[in-house]
Amino acid sequence: MLMAETIDQAAGLRRMAKPRPVQVIAVTSGKGGVGKTNVSVNMGVCMASQGKDVMLMDADLGLANVDVMLGLHTQYDLSHVMSGERTLEEVMCTGPQGMRVVPASSGIQAMSELSTAEHAGVISAFSEISYAPDVLIVDTAAGISDNVVTFSRAAQEVVVVVCDEPASITDAYALIKLLNREYSIYRFRIVANMVSSTQEGRALYSKIIKVTDRYLDAALDFMGVVPYDEYLRKAIQKQRAVVEAFPRSKSALAFKKLASKADSWPVPANAGGQLEFFVERLIMASQQETGASI
């Protein structure tokens, strides 16, 4: 029954009149604490400031922090969508530069342990929104949980954030290995965060690609670096994106470069080129995981 409903929902999205495709970017990491959400937030604000219609989804469903990072006071979040109390559009809030934010819940363990059927509930929520953005940025949880795998598989682009410490490098490789070998994701964009220089960032990238080139059939692209910057810490304390709080800081300029690079990526017109690309990819991922039991 649920399978038929989700297919109907995707079909309904095809009837949306908006002709332009949606760029879907998953920002992820093998390890927590490497600045993944900072990359998601600041890239989103940069792209919104350039006139893009940007939606940022906090997909760290049990340990959300996008709303906190931006100083947004949200009454409702994805847990209320899951319970049927609110629609996705009702829980959305407006962030800097008009960016739309889909907040998740924090401190609710059940949200971090969703079943496949419950993931389908998140999927169906996307079928209810009345418009398609230009860009959908999905800030996933860290690690290799089902949550991370599901949203990474649903995106057109997977951005892996890594910093120069052994655990971050090892866990980033583990994530790339899983997504590549088990789910046939081929292309990964690498962001070196909290580095002292571009040279250090490229050296970090070289460490990862040396292993992936040897053991995996994957294509890694060096997206760029974000330098360690005291102004970024100050922006976090102010609960603002650094690109707005300190637009000429080293980290803000780096985030603008990352956003510009992402804007140059081609957007395939799969699934009609609408938001149903994201929805249908999620549906297919869920069905494959359960052998079409949903």
Mean pLDDT lowest for which of 16-25, 64-73, 275-284?
275-284
Whole-structure pTM value: 0.84
Give the pLDDT confidence score for residue 213 in this predicted structure: 95
Query: Based on the structure, what is the number of domains in the chain?
Result: 1
Place 6 in a pLDDT band, splitting at 50, 70 and 90: very low
Estimate to the nearest angstrom the gap between the alpha carbon of 39 and the chain centroid. Answer: 10
Place 105 in a pLDDT band, splitting at 50, 70 and 90: confident
pLDDT 10s digits, 168-194: 999 999 999 999 999 999 999 999 999
**What does the angle CA 255 – CA 257 – CA 263 come to, to the nearest 5 degrees?**
105
The CATH number given to whatever domain includes residue 209 is: 3.40.50.300
**291 within domain boundaries:** no
Mean pLDDT lowest for which of 73-82, 154-163, 181-190, 253-262?
73-82
Higher pLDDT, 15 or 242: 242
Using alpha carbons, list the distances in angstroms from residue 166 to 116, 202, 207, 280.
Answer: 33, 16, 10, 36
pLDDT 10s digits, 17-53: 444 577 889 999 999 999 999 999 999 999 999 999 9
Give the pLDDT confidence score for residue 49 in this predicted structure: 96
**14 within domain boundaries:** no
Contact 231, 251 (CB under 8 A): yes
**292 within domain boundaries:** no
pLDDT 10s digits, 129-181: 777 788 999 999 899 888 788 888 888 899 999 999 999 999 999 999 999 99
Closest to 50 in 3D by CA, of 189, 250, 255, 245: 255
Place 14 in a pLDDT band, splitting at 50, 70 and 90: very low
Give the pLDDT confidence score for residue 2 in this predicted structure: 46
Give the pLDDT confidence score for residue 108 in this predicted structure: 52
| Residue 67: domain span | 2-8+24-286
**294 within domain boundaries:** no
Contact 50, 259 (CB under 8 A): yes
